[in-house]
A and B are shown apart, each in its own frame.
Chain A
């Protein structure tokens, strides 16, 4: 069919010269600028104006950079209060860059040839002679080196090449240098201990004031941390202890507690559970007092704090660890 093989035709001469020829059979409509010198002139002016405007916006950008104070806030409808410098710089920069592109594309569309041309593809496959030469060279190399003959050399070389990266991997060991407290412990040991001990007082996260039972009404929730946390953070210079020791305290009616992880681990209906999700470690504080469910905001694991912190839904496999609590009466007056 002639419609899909346009290379036959009177374009052969062009093809040999430049490697491509116009496609003969695509219906082609002339543009205004192709026939009307006025339209062509108009297109030229459009393109040049865009480039000119681009330059103007560069000047405006510099003016905005110098003139607008970085703390000035202005109100723009829809967007609300925004930084004036940010908006002015963004807009002028965007306009300066965009107009170059718009000008170039207008130029291509209105004034450059819009006739598609054909170029032939060539086989990627190398000619047989080249392949044979490559093979001969490979064989010569194999033969001259004796790689196939010297079995011992070959095997020891492979062995050496396999072993030499090992030191480079070993060097990575000190990515973790255990602190004094961590020495001699495995990562698993370290992860399974927290700051909490039998006599540690619970303080409220944020104010660091000791938590008292009367601070917590039924249905209420307090985020707690161990009293010595700030000191430990000061000494260690990191937030590691906080990441393990954070707890939440919730209070329910004592008879609402169906079970807990140890006998009498609550205090008058106040139970303490870890705040760190057993799934992948997000902190949890979404507590629904009616169902006593605790929901992780990351992957929606749900735990029942009235039932030993067991998983009721979601991807977490293990229940929330519970912390036994009591009241230090000597401090009460």
Chain B
């Protein structure tokens, strides 16, 4: 060690102390120089992680002042319009945080904004016991009661009786400040450990292969960039929390179960479920005295159940269909996996339509449309539009693949037309840059699973024929029409040819450089004394 400052000496001594006990230097040796790849999209994950940290920090502050109690009190704080009004202690303490604790509203709004960024807010929405959050709880209870057989009992137990009761806020509070953050923290930790052990995946680029990581080392560059970015996110949340009002609970008033405001909108992450509830036709059946509320069960339980299950299982389903169980550290460009990209776009479209459904009243008012017409449109669109989007996306990906193939074999079209001395016109093609070449040529070849035989050579019947056939068909569908990547030799030959093309322009550049006149962009080789117009040209002949 060459350290001389007392701080570094103390740091070194601490490292040795810890190392003696847990052998931490082995970890530091491996990881202080750990390489992280750069890509703008990785920043999104960082934003989510950092907002979560901001949620935790601001949340701790709020717990010191919030009182999760539905005991009725008479408000006597500094917000005049509600003075003397009876309300729950939860709502009163939320008003105190907003008006009587300096910086309280700032922290409350930072908590809400960063939670919106991080999607952790579900339970927090309902805690202040204002009119809007109470309506949210009422809907949640209505959904709960729609669960067959156990629903009503479940609602009675969770609420401690009928709605709204006096227990639910304090129960929800425990879930909100302990269970959910604990669970998220555990999952975030597992996620970061996985990223750390497996090393970050990377997009294709120069020098990037499936077996390496190309980027910046943790110390110092990534530490400064990622660490600095935490402060950027934190700062922006503070700025927005300070200047942009969110959830002005004082305007909604205290909750009572017989009041509601028009245009009640959930926070964005619940919007899709609310949209599903709004779009569902009013189906209900009664079997032996048991009511089955399809109108609530399908959109609020079955649909999210299917949605999240498919989301979780998709990687395994695709691996099974394609038979590709390899380790992938180099990301596929979306166009190089057309079917997967199509499914993704289909899912996003489906989600977006549900989301639009959640705002059908706002849309009806804003665009002066019939709300019934919007709802009917969505009821049909939810089944029709996603498959169309799937098809368009897949065709677009395949088209882009074909364009890539062109580029690999013939370079860029420069758009410059050149007349050669002997009169021939050619369009100049340019070789790809090192970066483009690496990105475009990263496409890997996929082969569908082979069709199974009904029986082997000895005539023994294949027991799994039907399943294998189905898998073969699915994987053929998955890889259908994908363009074949040219071989390395073909690419090299193509790029070489293009480079030769570019040489044709050399005299042109030489001329331009020498003369400093930029007249040549029409594409004809000019030289002093050359005719400018057709008439001149003819007279010269």
Whether the Cβ atoms of A26 and B242 lie closer than 8 Å is no
Whether the Cβ atoms of A23 and B206 lie closer than 8 Å is yes
Whether the Cβ atoms of A104 and B238 lie closer than 8 Å is no
B263 at the interface (CB under 8 A from A): yes
User: Which chain A residues lie closer than 8 Å to B221 at the CB level?
Assistant: 108, 112-114
B456 at the interface (CB under 8 A from A): no
- Nearest-neighbor residue (CB-CB) of B285 within chain A: A317
**How many whole Å from A119's CB to the nearest CB in chain B?**
4
Whether the Cβ atoms of B231 and A182 lie closer than 8 Å is no
Q: From known contacts A7-B207, A27-B434, A175-B158, infer whether A188 and B277 are also in contact, taking CB-CB under 8 Å.
A: no
Q: Which residue among A6, A19, A176, A178 has the maximum number of chain B CB atoms within 10 Å of its CB? A: A176
Hey, what's the 0/1 contact readout for B125-159 against A, CB within 8 Å counting as 1?
A: 00000000001001101110010000011011111
User: Which chain A residues lie closer than 8 Å to B102 at the CB level?
Assistant: 65, 70, 85, 89
Hey, what's the 0/1 contact readout for B229-271 against A, CB within 8 Å counting as 1?
A: 1111111101101110000000000011111111110000000
- Nearest-neighbor residue (CB-CB) of B491 within chain A: A1
A237 at the interface (CB under 8 A from B): yes
Q: From known contacts A83-B105, A104-B227, A176-B156, infer whether A98 and B277 are also in contact, taking CB-CB under 8 Å.
A: no
Whether the Cβ atoms of B157 and A172 lie closer than 8 Å is yes
User: Which chain A residues lie closer than 8 Å to B371 at the CB level?
Assistant: 300
A24 at the interface (CB under 8 A from B): yes
> Quick one: which of B139, B152, B236 contacts A187, CB cutoff 8 A?
B152
B437 at the interface (CB under 8 A from A): yes
User: Which chain B residues lie closer than 8 Å to A179 at the CB level?
Assistant: 161
- Nearest-neighbor residue (CB-CB) of B208 within chain A: A4
Whether the Cβ atoms of B72 and A237 lie closer than 8 Å is yes
Within 8 A of A (CB), among B279-321: 279-284, 293, 295-296, 299
**How many whole Å from A48's CB to the nearest CB in chain B?**
14
Hey, what's the 0/1 contact readout for A181-201 against B, CB within 8 Å counting as 1?
A: 010000110110000000000
User: Which chain A residues lie closer than 8 Å to B399 at the CB level?
Assistant: none
> Quick one: which of A65, A238, A281, A285 contacts B142, CB cutoff 8 A?
A281
Whether the Cβ atoms of A116 and B277 lie closer than 8 Å is no
- Nearest-neighbor residue (CB-CB) of A311 within chain B: B282
**A90 to B278 alpha-carbon distance, docked (Å):** 38
Hey, what's the 0/1 contact readout for A262-283 against B, CB within 8 Å counting as 1?
A: 0000000000000110011111
Whether the Cβ atoms of B164 and A108 lie closer than 8 Å is no
**How many whole Å from A249's CB to the nearest CB in chain B?**
13
**A329 to B264 alpha-carbon distance, docked (Å):** 41
Whether the Cβ atoms of A238 and B165 lie closer than 8 Å is yes
B441 at the interface (CB under 8 A from A): yes
**A87 to B102 alpha-carbon distance, docked (Å):** 11
Hey, what's the 0/1 contact readout for B435-469 against A, CB within 8 Å counting as 1?
A: 10110010000000000000000000000000000
Hey, what's the 0/1 contact readout for A1-22 against B, CB within 8 Å counting as 1?
A: 1011111000000000011100
> Quick one: which of B217, B231, B437 contacts A20, CB cutoff 8 A?
B217
**How many whole Å from B439's CB to the nearest CB in chain A?**
10
> Quick one: which of A99, A101, A116, A243 contacts B38, CB cutoff 8 A?
A116
Whether the Cβ atoms of A243 and B157 lie closer than 8 Å is no
Q: From known contacts A85-B103, A240-B161, infer whether A94 and B152 are also in contact, taking CB-CB under 8 Å.
A: no
User: Which chain A residues lie closer than 8 Å to B437 at the CB level?
Assistant: 1, 3-4
A315 at the interface (CB under 8 A from B): yes
User: Which chain B residues lie closer than 8 Å to A276 at the CB level?
Assistant: 257-258
B11 at the interface (CB under 8 A from A): no
**A246 to B100 alpha-carbon distance, docked (Å):** 34
Whether the Cβ atoms of A101 and B231 lie closer than 8 Å is yes
Q: From known contacts A20-B217, A285-B260, A314-B278, infer whether A97 and B162 are also in contact, taking CB-CB under 8 Å.
A: no
User: Which chain B residues lie closer than 8 Å to A240 at the CB level?
Assistant: 161-165
User: Which chain B residues lie closer than 8 Å to A317 at the CB level?
Assistant: 282-284, 293, 295
Whether the Cβ atoms of B72 and A121 lie closer than 8 Å is no
Q: From known contacts A97-B235, A238-B165, infer whether A281 and B207 are also in contact, taking CB-CB under 8 Å.
A: no
User: Which chain A residues lie closer than 8 Å to B197 at the CB level?
Assistant: 124
Whether the Cβ atoms of B434 and A237 lie closer than 8 Å is no
Q: Which residue among B139, B159, B282, B441 has the maximum number of chain A CB atoms within 10 Å of its CB? A: B282
- Nearest-neighbor residue (CB-CB) of A109 within chain B: B225
**A242 to B256 alpha-carbon distance, docked (Å):** 8
A297 at the interface (CB under 8 A from B): yes
Whether the Cβ atoms of B212 and A7 lie closer than 8 Å is yes
Hey, what's the 0/1 contact readout for A69-99 against B, CB within 8 Å counting as 1?
A: 0110000000100110111011101111111
**A124 to B195 alpha-carbon distance, docked (Å):** 13
Hey, what's the 0/1 contact readout for A283-300 against B, CB within 8 Å counting as 1?
A: 111100000000001111
User: Which chain B residues lie closer than 8 Å to A250 at the CB level?
Assistant: none
Whether the Cβ atoms of A315 and B277 lie closer than 8 Å is yes
Q: Which residue among B159, B216, B261 has the maximum number of chain A CB atoms within 10 Å of its CB? A: B216
> Quick one: which of A26, A65, A239 contacts B164, CB cutoff 8 A?
A239
User: Which chain A residues lie closer than 8 Å to B441 at the CB level?
Assistant: 1, 4
**A177 to B160 alpha-carbon distance, docked (Å):** 7
Whether the Cβ atoms of B160 and A6 lie closer than 8 Å is no
Whether the Cβ atoms of A25 and B361 lie closer than 8 Å is no
User: Which chain B residues lie closer than 8 Å to A187 at the CB level?
Assistant: 152-153, 155-156
Whether the Cβ atoms of A297 and B230 lie closer than 8 Å is no
**A105 to B205 alpha-carbon distance, docked (Å):** 23
> Quick one: which of A1, A190, A282, A297 contacts B361, CB cutoff 8 A?
A297
**A31 to B403 alpha-carbon distance, docked (Å):** 34
- Nearest-neighbor residue (CB-CB) of B439 within chain A: A4
Whether the Cβ atoms of B213 and A121 lie closer than 8 Å is yes
Within 8 A of A (CB), among B22-39: 30, 33-35, 38
Q: From known contacts A4-B206, A187-B155, A281-B163, infer whether A239 and B263 are also in contact, taking CB-CB under 8 Å.
A: no
**A102 to B207 alpha-carbon distance, docked (Å):** 30
**A205 to B102 alpha-carbon distance, docked (Å):** 36
A107 at the interface (CB under 8 A from B): yes
A308 at the interface (CB under 8 A from B): no
User: Which chain B residues lie closer than 8 Å to A102 at the CB level?
Assistant: 228, 231-232
B120 at the interface (CB under 8 A from A): no
Within 8 A of B (CB), among A236-262: 237-240, 242-244, 246
User: Which chain B residues lie closer than 8 Å to A124 at the CB level?
Assistant: 197-198, 327
> Quick one: which of A105, A121, A315 contacts B224, CB cutoff 8 A?
A105
A301 at the interface (CB under 8 A from B): yes
B6 at the interface (CB under 8 A from A): no
- Nearest-neighbor residue (CB-CB) of A54 within chain B: B231
Some 11 contacts from A to B, beta carbons below 8 A apart, are: A19-B30, A97-B235, A100-B228, A101-B234, A116-B214, A118-B213, A223-B258, A239-B257, A240-B163, A281-B141, A297-B263
Q: Which 4 A-B pairs have the closest CB atoms?
A: A90-B242, A280-B142, A98-B235, A104-B228
